[in-house]
Amino acid sequence: MDILVVNPNTTASMTEKIGEAARGAASAGTRIIAINPKDGPPSVEGYFDEVFAIPGMIGEIQKHPAASACVIACFDDTGLDAARCVGEMPVVGIGEAAFHMASLIAGRFSVVTTLSRSVPAIEHNLVRYGLASRCARVRASDVPVLELEVLGSNARHRISEEIECAIRDDRAEAIVLGCAGMADLAAALSREHGLPVLDGVACAVKLCESLVGLGLSTSKRGGYQVPLEKSFAGIFAPFSPSGRAS
């Protein structure tokens, strides 16, 4: 099966790293197609950036109608609801993926993300998904997204410190890493701290494989109905609900 892994930001090096993480998690028969939009911000840090990342991301998804499933590789599950309206293939956000998986192996977990400005969006998602009661706390490590790409930065150390606090102060039984760019750190941090540390990219790939394997697709009742056909104006004229771009 083909799983589309969409990095909603435009930083190709990060797409590559995410693709690697996804391939590391994928089963033998799964092909990972890691892409990013050419339109939008180089990193998604907070509500403002999200807005300009999603249209391009949706456009990319529409270009792959034959994919079996789709992973949204941004921890605030940017544009997840809209992506589920595109066709019937299952779409899984890396945030929700990690929350659901953590709920299966731990009574409560804490999230360690990048910047404090991203915390409220993650908290809102937890409330919406119903899993806020399973999350002890969402913690900011004050590491900007793209610093995770910089060799020799202090990023890994800061994240490790927050995990320490989560174990001591939140009674966390598992840790969810709150950024796609942290995917490569999970295994080592798990060994270091002696508790499960989850990376959302890997979790989402596995959940997509599972949904496809079960023959399950997105429900077309309720909020994820196929969008009504209409013509968009201006810069969005090439886009459309049916994806038949001019």
Total Cβ atoms within 10 A of residue 141: 25
CB of 95 to a copy of itself, least distance (A): 12
Q: Does 8 bind a copy of itself (CB under 8 A)?
A: no
- Cβ-based neighbour number of residue 246 at 10 Å: 7
Q: Contact region for a copy of itself (CB under 8 A) — 14-22, 123-131, 152-160, 176-184?
A: 123-131
The token pair that represents 193 in the structure block? 């701290």
> Which segment (14-22, 115-123, 148-156, 177-185) binds a copy of itself by CB under 8 A?
115-123
Q: Which residues of 211-243 are buried (b: 16+ CB within 10 A; e: fewer)?
A: bbeeeeebeeeeebeeeeeeeeeeeeeebbbeb
Residue length of the chain: 246
Q: In a 3-state reduction of DSSP, which class is residue 140?
A: strand
When binding is defined by CB under 8 A, the residue of 63, 105, 244, 245 that contacts a copy of itself is 105
Q: Are 40 and 8 in contact (CB under 8 A)?
A: yes
The residue count for binding a copy of itself (CB under 8 A) is 96
Among 2, 23, 100, 153, binds a copy of itself (CB under 8 A): 100
Residues 196-215 that bind a copy of itself (CB under 8 A): 196, 198, 202-203, 206-207, 209-211, 213-215
Q: Which of residues 43-82 bind a copy of itself (CB under 8 A)?
A: 43, 45-52, 54-56, 58, 79, 81-82
Choosing from 1, 2, 20, 85, the residue that interacts with a copy of itself (CB under 8 A) is 85
CA angle, residues 177, 188, 213, in degrees to nearest 5: 60
Cα radius of gyration (the chain): 17
Q: Which of 132, 142, 165, 184 binds a copy of itself (CB under 8 A)?
A: 132
User: At closest approach, how far in Å is the CB of 160 from a copy of itself?
Assistant: 17
17: left (phi over 0), alpha (psi -120 to 50) or beta: alpha
Residue (13 or 133) nearer to a copy of itself, CB: 133
Main-chain phi, psi angles of 34, to 5 degrees:
-95, 120
User: Hey, which bits of 141-190 come out as E strands?
Assistant: 174-178
Query: Does residue 225 belong to the site contacting a copy of itself (CB under 8 A)?
Result: yes
Chain positions 10 to 29 lying near a copy of itself, rule: CB under 8 A, are 10, 25, 27-28
Is 168 one of the binding residues for a copy of itself (CB under 8 A)? no
Single out the residue of 20, 144, 161, 184 in contact with a copy of itself (rule: CB under 8 A): 144
